[in-house]
């Protein structure tokens, strides 16, 4: 039986009509622009398509992107649902790098949910899940002999955060994780990740009342041109520092600056944090 060969133009046409690949081409610009709500909206149809045609790796990659977007918007319940859906797909294919990415995001989601919990038992359970999930990511990294310093740094960053955010956590464990993360980011020359980790170290300085070290860290971070989200986190840290040293007028100005960024970024949880700080300052005045 004669089978007509497929020429190059037909292959190109097939690729152009692939909504999943078209989405992956377009999504990088959304990520760079931090347009998380748009990412969630635009990923819905390609995700459904990937699941329908059983392109499990593509579906998992989209779920990871959606998890990150929900997390950055402060929609942690939706982020957890997304990461659990992603988990179910890893039985159907192997991709250690994507697995590690999904696991450290899942750790971040558990940590965020723990921070919102008002019940101590549930809170501590979520923090344990955050630590165990980050440790699972480390195990995959070691077992699969991965060589990716930036990825390893992100895992240690989230493991450190799980220790640091827990009111009953070990700050020294957090410091060791952050120091390891910083070494990884130094090797991979990742300025934003280094700055993000320094901000995390700054929170430990705040807890230890080491205000001069904290001020120096903030000044160093401000020198660099950073994404709005990261700048917003620095605003929050500086506002906390100003409150701690009783500079309430400047604290209020910094809170309003950070709050404006949070509104533009549609970062609901960050808006709540800034408003909470603002109430705290007004109560002192």
The answer to whether residue 244 is domain-embedded is yes
Tokens coding 46? 């390609």
The answer to whether residue 268 is domain-embedded is yes
Question: What's the gap between Cα 259 and its chain centre?
Answer: 19
DSSP designation for 91? T
What's residue 16's pLDDT?
56
The answer to whether residue 118 is domain-embedded is no
What's residue 284's pLDDT?
76
The predicted-structure confidence for 8-33, as pLDDT tens digits, reads as follows 444 344 445 799 999 999 999 999 99
Q: What pLDDT band is residue 156 in, cutting at 50, 70 and 90?
A: very high
Is residue 133's pLDDT more than 80?
yes
Tokens coding 264? 């533009």
Total number of domains in the chain = 1
**Domain that residue 232 falls in:** 190-285
Tokens coding 187? 């090797």
The predicted-structure confidence for 176-198, as pLDDT tens digits, reads as follows 999 999 999 999 999 999 999 99
d(CA 67, CA 77): 10
What's residue 23's pLDDT?
96
The answer to whether residue 96 is domain-embedded is no
The predicted-structure confidence for 54-111, as pLDDT tens digits, reads as follows 999 999 999 999 999 999 999 999 999 999 999 999 988 899 999 999 999 999 999 9
Residue 216 makes CB contacts below 8 A (sequence gap 6+) with none
What's residue 244's pLDDT?
96
Tokens coding 218? 């903030």
CATH number of domain containing 202? 1.25.40.10
The answer to whether residue 20 is domain-embedded is no
Question: What's the gap between Cα 206 and its chain centre?
Answer: 22
- To the question of pTM greater than 0.85 for the whole model, the response is yes
């Amino acid at each position: 039986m004669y089978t007509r060969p497929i020429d190059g133009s037909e292959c190109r046409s097939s690729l152009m009509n692939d909504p999943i690949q078209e989405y992956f081409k377009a999504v990088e610009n959304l990520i760079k622009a931090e347009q998380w709500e748009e990412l969630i909206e635009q990923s819905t149809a390609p995700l459904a398509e990937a699941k329908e045609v059983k392109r499990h790796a593509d579906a998992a990659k989209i779920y990871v992107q959606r998890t990150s977007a929900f997390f950055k918007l402060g929609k942690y319940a939706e982020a957890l649902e997304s990461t659990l859906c992603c988990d179910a797909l890893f039985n159907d294919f192997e991709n250690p790098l994507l697995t590690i990415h999904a696991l450290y995001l899942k750790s971040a989601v558990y940590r965020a949910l723990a921070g919102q919990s008002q019940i101590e038992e549930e809170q501590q359970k979520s923090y344990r899940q955050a630590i165990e999930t980050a440790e699972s990511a480390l195990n995959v990294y070691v077992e699969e002999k991965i060589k990716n310093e930036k990825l390893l740094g992100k895992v240690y960053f989230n493991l450190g955060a799980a220790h640091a955010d827990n009111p009953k956590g070990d700050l020294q464990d957090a410091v060791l994780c952050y120091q390891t993360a910083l070494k990884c980011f130094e090797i991979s020359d990742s300025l934003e990740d280094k700055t993000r980790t320094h901000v995390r170290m700054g929170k430990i300085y705040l807890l230890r009342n080491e205000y001069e070290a904290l001020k120096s860290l903030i000044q160093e971070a401000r020198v660099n041109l950073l994404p709005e989200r990261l700048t917003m986190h620095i605003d929050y840290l500086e506002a906390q520092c100003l409150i701690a040293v009783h500079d309430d007028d400047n604290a209020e100005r910094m809170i309003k600056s950070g709050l404006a960024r949070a509104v533009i970024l549609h970062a609901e949880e960050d808006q709540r944090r800034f408003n909470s700080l603002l109430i705290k300052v007004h109560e002192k005045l």
